[in-house]
Amino acid sequence: MSNDVFVITEHMDGKFSDVSFELVGKAKELAKALGGQAAAVVVGGGVDANVFASDSTIQVDDAALSQFNPEAYAKVVEALVKEKSPKVVMFGWTVTGMDIAAWLSARLGVPCAAYAKDVRVEGGGIVVSCQAYGGKLTAEVAPEGETAIVACLAGSFPAEAGQGATAAEKIASPVDLSGLKMKFIEMVKPAGGDVDITAQTKLVSVGRGIGGKENIELAEELAAKLGAVVSASRPVVDAGWLPRTRQVGKSGLKVKPKLYLMLGISGAPEHLEGMKGAELIIAINTDKKAPIFNVAHYGATADLFEVAEAMLELL
């Protein structure tokens, strides 16, 4: 075993996601405290991997890995972790990291701490703060054993600390990639036609509290009066009340409007990832303990329908 910290980076269309740099920055800090090295792991060819401030970068360069393939990536990461025995393996708690982190944990019988918001070194080991239960509780957990997997929420650490130019060491895939049961077919880009919520200066964003498709109209009316566009949190889109193009958050779009008026959104970490940079955040929610009130600039514990209707009369 070593005291090294691995970061499993992620990329699409030749670009690394912000969370990869965030994790590399944090990994350097952890590795220093643990007396090890921070290594960025890049699974995939066709991408310039000389972009991290890591102590080393390992690039598994194989054409079969150019697009994310959950099965192939998982097997490659498993082989690397088995071979190098790092102390900590960091993933993003993202659409790709979530496919591998818990799988690897069960596969290798090593602990995994998910929804991680912070990681610190304590007594030669690590302690992880996990933002669980929709952001309502933070669990502090200490992984036991030689190796720990940590899956971190995007936006938890500054990205700048991870940016650099460490030359990547290219290696061949440590596992046989023939005979995979999962094959990449194609990438489907979003169809145009709808408004681009990332280009709006004002958004009226609705959450589960809006209650039903029939109530979207009220939000539309309010948005029209404000010169805004209606966006939504994931449950609203999953329920089919608004199209996917309107979704803000981890699996949706990142927005940074001048005004983000939130109606009935509790503020789960996944949603905050997409909107916390908004200039003015106003949240209306009936739950006075909703996590969104820790992030919004202004808030009101009130019935969103009554407030929205009263606003319509005043505008």
Partner 1 sequence: MNIVVAIKHIPSIADDLPVKGNNVDFDSVDFVLNEWDEHSIEQAVLIKEAVGGTVTVVGVDLIGELDNALHLALAKGADKVVKITADDPAADSHMQAKWLAEAIKGMSPDMVFAGVQASNDIDGQIGPMIAAYLDMPYIGGTSAIEVSGNTATVSKEFPGGVGMKYAVTLPFVAGVQSAPKPPRYAPVSKVRQMAQTATVEKVAPSGEASSGLAFKKMAPPVVTGHAEMIEGSPKEVAAKIVELLKSRGLA
Binding segment for partner 1 among 26-34, 50-58, 156-164, 188-196 (CB under 8 A)? 188-196
Instruction: State the nearest-atom distance from the C-beta of 27 to partner 1, in Å.
Output: 19
Establish if 87 lies at the interface with partner 1 (CB under 8 A): no
Strands 112-122 and 56-60: unpaired
Q: Which residue has the tokens 């995994």?
A: 112
Rounded Cα–Cα distance for residues 165 and 57 (Å): 10
Residue placing its CB nearer to partner 1 in the complex, 2 or 198: 198
Residue placing its CB nearer to partner 1 in the complex, 86 or 299: 299
Q: Which residue has the tokens 């996590």?
A: 291
Query: What is residue 239's DSSP assignment?
Result: T
Establish if 1 lies at the interface with partner 1 (CB under 8 A): no
Residues 6+ apart with CB under 8 A from 175: 75, 76, 78, 79
Establish if 301 lies at the interface with partner 1 (CB under 8 A): yes
Rounded to 10°, the helix 70-84/97-108 angle is 50
Residue placing its CB nearer to partner 1 in the complex, 44 or 235: 235
Instruction: State the nearest-atom distance from the C-beta of 237 to partner 1, in Å.
Output: 8
Establish if 202 lies at the interface with partner 1 (CB under 8 A): yes
Strands 168-171 and 112-122: unpaired
**Which of the residues 218 through 257 are near partner 1 (CB under 8 A)?**
225-226, 235, 237-240, 244-245, 247, 250-254
Rounded Cα–Cα distance for residues 251 and 17 (Å): 13
> What's the distance, CA 82 to chain centroid?
26
Determine which residue in the list 70, 84, 221, 224 makes contact with partner 1, applying CB under 8 A: 70
**Cα distance between the two ends of the chain:** 65
What one-character-per-residue DSSP string does 55-72 give?
A: SEEEEE--GGGSS--HHH
Q: Which residue has the tokens 């991680």?
A: 116
Determine which residue in the list 33, 64, 132, 175 makes contact with partner 1, applying CB under 8 A: 132
Rounded Cα–Cα distance for residues 295 and 285 (Å): 13
Determine which residue in the list 1, 142, 167, 195 makes contact with partner 1, applying CB under 8 A: 142
What one-character-per-residue DSSP string does 108-122 give?
A: HT--EEEEEEEEEEE
Strands 15-16 and 125-132: unpaired
Instruction: State the nearest-atom distance from the C-beta of 167 to partner 1, in Å.
Output: 29
Establish if 175 lies at the interface with partner 1 (CB under 8 A): no
Determine which residue in the list 9, 54, 59, 69 makes contact with partner 1, applying CB under 8 A: 69
Establish if 133 lies at the interface with partner 1 (CB under 8 A): yes
Rounded Cα–Cα distance for residues 26 and 265 (Å): 30
Q: Which residue has the tokens 């957990």?
A: 141
Establish if 47 lies at the interface with partner 1 (CB under 8 A): no
Instruction: State the nearest-atom distance from the C-beta of 56 to partner 1, in Å.
Output: 27
Residue placing its CB nearer to partner 1 in the complex, 143 or 164: 143
Binding segment for partner 1 among 36-44, 55-63, 79-87, 104-112 (CB under 8 A)? 104-112
Determine which residue in the list 37, 54, 59, 131 makes contact with partner 1, applying CB under 8 A: 131
Establish if 144 lies at the interface with partner 1 (CB under 8 A): yes
**Which of the residues 250 through 289 are near partner 1 (CB under 8 A)?**
250-254, 258-259, 261, 266, 268, 280-284, 287, 289
Establish if 18 lies at the interface with partner 1 (CB under 8 A): no
